[in-house]
Amino acid sequence: MSLETILVTGGAGFVGSHACKALAAAGYLPVSYDNLSNGHQDAVKWGPLITADLLDQSALAAAFTAYKPCAVMHFAGLIEAGLSVREPARFERQNVAGSAALLAAMQAHQVNKLVFSSSAAVYGAPQQVTITEDHPRQPANPYGQNKADIEDLLTGASEQGALRFCALRYFNAAGADPDGELGERHDPETHLIPLVIQAAFGHRPLAIYGTDYETVDGTCVRDYVHVSDLADAHVAAVQRLLAGGPNLVANLGSGDGYSVQQIIAATERLTGQTINPLHAARRQGDVAHLVANSALAEASLAWQATRSSLDQIISDAIAAQKRFVIQPQ
């Protein structure tokens, strides 16, 4: 009996590749569809890779024809919020138009189940410390607006009877595959934990943007969720849809917030290294607190963030950074 196939857009990227590993462990065949602008070919280990762009209609059609997926996981897109402010048209085309092209291809090939990699960026500045899904969507940058617009595309397709979907709004993806097969390798790297680890080993300097927020130590507080926990949630979501379950829009986070200074202190403790960060001005759009309430995902997907303690996240990230990024001195 052949395995059920899941088309994974962005399957060579950070979260997408971890999701592919989790899909394979659950008995599915992940087919990665990635233009490799941000992903890594060597991260595609559990199924075939189609190197193509979402805006390439013929390549999309060929992928659906060749592999006949029963569902899609959609991770592909540009993710750098700061860059989206400088290049909004590029983000709109790649993220929103690309998603619309994917939905059109799905409808043409009668595939009606999709799990979407959304983001807490749809919320913008939080109105409460811990965010639930009914918080207003008020994106603070074009990237967050892209995610909100794509959610609206999914809702519209669903209202027309063409789609059932799960949109998973995750907070700060972090950590790395505990088996050491995958890691975080963005270029440029913009995520705090790998930047802090790289600074600990002298790979690059580290800047703290703002030390005067109303937080425990004046630096921004964020909710970090282990990428393997995210991957498990995506598998649970696709299984929900394949079993006939209804649409779901849900947060994914650990429920705990840690400041920049707390991340630095934990990394110093776990590496035995001293970090001397530079202090810089606040960045436009940064908010003091951003922490998830994930009760809906826990109840709807029988999901728990089991690997998302801060020490586990940073320990796994250290091992991956040493293997994939930091060159031995």
pLDDT digits (tens, 9 = 90+) for 2-60: 589 999 999 999 999 999 999 999 999 999 999 999 999 999 999 999 999 999 999 99
Q: What is the pLDDT of residue 329?
A: 45
List the catalytic residues: 143
Phi-psi domain of 139 (left: phi exceeds 0; alpha: psi -120 through 50; beta: other): beta
pLDDT digits over 292-312, tens only?
999 999 999 999 999 999 999
Signed CA dihedral, 114, 166, 147, 12: sign only: negative
Burial of 79 (0-12, 13-18, 19+ CB in 10 A): buried
pTM of structure: 0.96
Mean pLDDT, all residues of the chain: 95
Q: What mean pLDDT do residues 60-68 have?
A: 98
One-letter identity of residue 24:
A
How far apart, in whole angstroms, are the C-alpha atoms of residue 23 and residue 260?
Answer: 33
How far apart, in whole angstroms, are the C-alpha atoms of residue 131 and residue 251?
Answer: 8
The larger pLDDT score, comparing residue 3 to residue 213, is at 213
pLDDT band at 109 (very low <50, low <70, confident <90, very high): very high
- Determine contact, residues 211/219, Cβ cutoff 8 Å: yes
CATH architecture, domain defined by 5-174+225-252: 3-Layer(aba) Sandwich (3.40)
- Determine contact, residues 168/117, Cβ cutoff 8 Å: yes
For residue 88, is the peptide bond before it cis, meaning its omega torsion is within 30 degrees of 0? no
The residue extents of the domains of the chain are 5-174+225-252, 192-223+255-324
Partners of 5 in the beta sheet? 29
- Determine contact, residues 171/222, Cβ cutoff 8 Å: yes
Q: What mean pLDDT do residues 135-158 have?
A: 96
- Determine contact, residues 82/65, Cβ cutoff 8 Å: no
Find how far residue 26's CA is from the centre of its chain: 20
Structure tokens belonging to residue 155: 């809702």
How far apart, in whole angstroms, are the C-alpha atoms of residue 125 and residue 262?
Answer: 22
Q: What mean pLDDT do residues 166-178 have?
A: 97
Q: Which CATH superfamily is domain 192-223+255-324 in?
A: UDP-galactose 4-epimerase, domain 1 (3.90.25.10)
Whether the pLDDT of residue 95 is over 70: the answer is yes
Whether the pLDDT of residue 221 is over 60: the answer is yes
- Determine contact, residues 119/145, Cβ cutoff 8 Å: no
